[in-house]
Structure 1
Amino acid sequence: MNTPVFGSVHLGYVVIETDCFADWRRFGTDAIGMHRDDLDAGLMRFRLDDQECRFLLRRGPAEDVVATGWHIDDHTTFERIEARIRAHGVPVVEGTPEEATLRGVERLLRFPGPKGITQEIYTAPVKSAEPLTMLATGFVTGDSGMGHIAITSTRPAQIRGYFNTVFDARLTDYIDETISGVKLKIRFLRVNERHHSIAIAAVRGLPVDPVRTRVQHLNIQAATLDDVARSYQRVHELGFDMALSVGQHTNDKELSYYARTPSGFEWEVGWNPVVIDENTWQPSTHQGISVWGHTPVGQTIIDKLVQFRLGARSLVHPEITVSALSGPGIPDD
């Protein structure tokens, strides 16, 4: 019997590889307002709460997210997920004690994920006794996890199939959007009460990926509206690029803005998204990503040309998939 694991899975940490350590220190600490711990010249962590690590930054050339860590509620569910992956012939590797320590967990397993983003699972996060030192008053984590990741893909059905196979991810809803004449379909997947932990955007009718990085954006949820406003102001004052101005989404009703990180992908700071009631929720399709706002900031014709060039490049570099865990993919409902 394939016992469901939905509801016992939570986005726990993200690993980023970058050579822009000085810029990331200013971005994460002084602009976004997170707690920072400098481990050595090539390792840095950010905290959002009492968990020892929410973002691990290690020195390297990728300028991208390289791994996501998922907190699993208990050992029984952890072993159930491990058994699923092994049953599909996909290799599972135990992280070293040093790797677990860096991520602030007692033990972790890793396995391949879509777009080359390694997936890691753990059950026991290490809590820090050190008080938080940060500009924000707080962030919302807990049962909803620490936020969400959004990716662009030429294989959206396969990615949806992957997260369904591994975590029993459920479809929350869709958004249809047209940006600069390009039609997009965005799928939103949840693994717990958070409206979505994974968003997958695809260009309709064209097998192109217009984004250089593996992730399009990361999201964290601020505790108060004032935290969103103050961090938005700090991003501007410190000279970091703003991707999208403050706005409110059509589907999860989250009020947010998008800044551009030193590594190039975007960082969404949001507030007050809806919480899913599993007894009543029905998937639907929304037209446009925003009720209001979220207007592009500083986009030029050069930016658009770069995007088209990246899309063309994706035609000759096939997207990394994990076919054994994706199956035939899940078609749109």
Structure 2
Amino acid sequence: MSVKSLGYVVIETRDLAAWREFGTTILGVMDAGSDDPDVLLLRVDDRPFRFWIRKGEREAFVAPAWELASQDSFDATVAKLEATGRPVEHADIMEARARQVYALARSSDPCGNAFEIFHGRFCDYVPFVSPAAVSRFVTGDNGDMGLGHIVLTAPAFEETHAFYKSVLGFRDSDLGRFYLGGGGPDDPGVGFAFMHARNGRHHSLALGQMPENPNGAVHMMLEVGTLEDVGRAYDRVLGSKGKVVLSATLGRHVNDKMTSFYVRTPGGFDIEYGWNGLVIDPDTWVPTTSLGISDWGHQWAHEKGD
């Protein structure tokens, strides 16, 4: 029993209008409409939503929601969580229906990173139309590759890495060690674990051996259909004249081959906006160990002194 894909993300904000503007005009995602004035729903494909953004008292990434394939898989995962001593909160039927899923529960990893798990999904068959003319967002056939990926911090790195493999069924794609301090005898490097779910995306989850992030996540990734989609979004960020912050310039990653840039969200965490990510066979993939982050580009704002 293992996670099928990243189903959606939960975000909290004091300013729904800022997220609506950022999502529709910069990212090119679609406002799905909501019956609740305190919830903004954004979609990227034929799912009713992929972003659940609620009004609250903070700006933060709250939780990824991991999709499981069946009721049996959901029940087995809940049992594993309870057996490891992790807290499990079961949502009632009305909350599950609001999320447009069959069953929903919440828990957290050993570092306290919250997550939701669910199974079943509703379809409303409303066509996705990008307000910024994005050709498409890559989520796989019938959405089986999921929304994208999420990167979380894990100060208790080994324990948390083992938890995601043994309890949620993730498998390793790449075990990186990045020398962010420039290398040398005094630079121990930072460990990263890039892990895939039961689909072809190179990684749906990555853990960084770093202190807790105050924004709840390091970044999440959205993949689009063409290089032109990336370039036009890059131009939209630059055309905002500083209103939207470019976190990292255009570049290409070593391990998942994604050509992308990074942009700061209203929530303070980043979104990687990319194209042409590596597709793997999750059953036969042999994990790699990467010692570099990018083939080229991806110059970070803090490295430029911005």
Name the TM tier (shorter chain).
0.7 to 0.9
In the alignment, structure 1 residue 97 sits paired with structure 2 residue 93: yes
Structure 1 letter corresponding to 2:127: P
Unaligned 5+ residue runs, structure 2? Answer: none
Return the structure number with greater helix share: 1
Q: Is the 1:42–1:59 Cα contact (8 Å) retained in structure 2? A: yes
Summarize deviations over 1:169-199 as a string: whole Å, max 9, x none. 1111122323354632221111222211111
Pairwise CA distance, 1:57: 0.4
What is the correspondence of 1:161-240 to structure 2 with a 5 Å cutoff? 161-181=162-182, 183-192=189-198, 193-203=200-210, 209=211, 211-238=213-240, 239-240=243-244
Structure 1 letter corresponding to 2:44: L
Unaligned 5+ residue runs, structure 1? Answer: 204-208, 304-333
Q: CA RMSD in A?
A: 2.1
Q: Is the 2:32–2:49 Cα contact (8 Å) retained in structure 1? A: no
Q: Residue 120 of structure 1 corresponds to which residue in structure 2? A: 116
Between the aligned partners of 1:293 and 1:87, the Cα distance in structure 2 is: 45
Between the aligned partners of 2:20 and 2:202, the Cα distance in structure 1 is: 30
Pairwise CA distance, 1:109: 1.7
Pairwise CA distance, 1:210: 7.1
Pairwise CA distance, 1:112: 2.6
Structure 1 residue matching 2:167: 3-state secondary structure: helix
Between the aligned partners of 1:93 and 1:280, the Cα distance in structure 2 is: 34
Structure 2 letter corresponding to 1:152: T
Structure 2 residue matching 1:236: 3-state secondary structure: helix
Structure 1 residue matching 2:179: 3-state secondary structure: strand
Q: Is the 2:155–2:212 Cα contact (8 Å) retained in structure 1? A: no
Structure 2 letter corresponding to 1:195: H
Select the residue among 247, 257, 273 that pairs with 1:243: 247
Q: Residue 18 of structure 1 corresponds to which residue in structure 2? A: 13
Q: How many residues align?
A: 292
Summarize deviations over 1:30-74 as a string: whole Å, max 9, x none. 000001134244210110111112110001123112122111111
Pairwise CA distance, 1:298: 6.3
Structure 2 letter corresponding to 1:138: R
Structure 1 residue matching 2:144: 3-state secondary structure: helix
Pairwise CA distance, 1:266: 0.4
Q: Percent identity?
A: 35
Q: Is the 1:188–1:199 Cα contact (8 Å) retained in structure 2? A: yes
Between the aligned partners of 2:222 and 2:111, the Cα distance in structure 1 is: 21
In the alignment, structure 1 residue 149 sits paired with structure 2 residue 150: yes
Summarize deviations over 1:248-301 as a string: whole Å, max 9, x none. 100111111110001110001111111222465322222210001111136565
Q: Residue 42 of structure 2 corresponds to which residue in structure 1? A: 46
Between the aligned partners of 2:144 and 2:52, the Cα distance in structure 1 is: 21
| TM-score calculated relative to the size of structure 2 | 0.88
Between the aligned partners of 2:250 and 2:22, the Cα distance in structure 1 is: 18
Structure 1 residue matching 2:42: 3-state secondary structure: strand
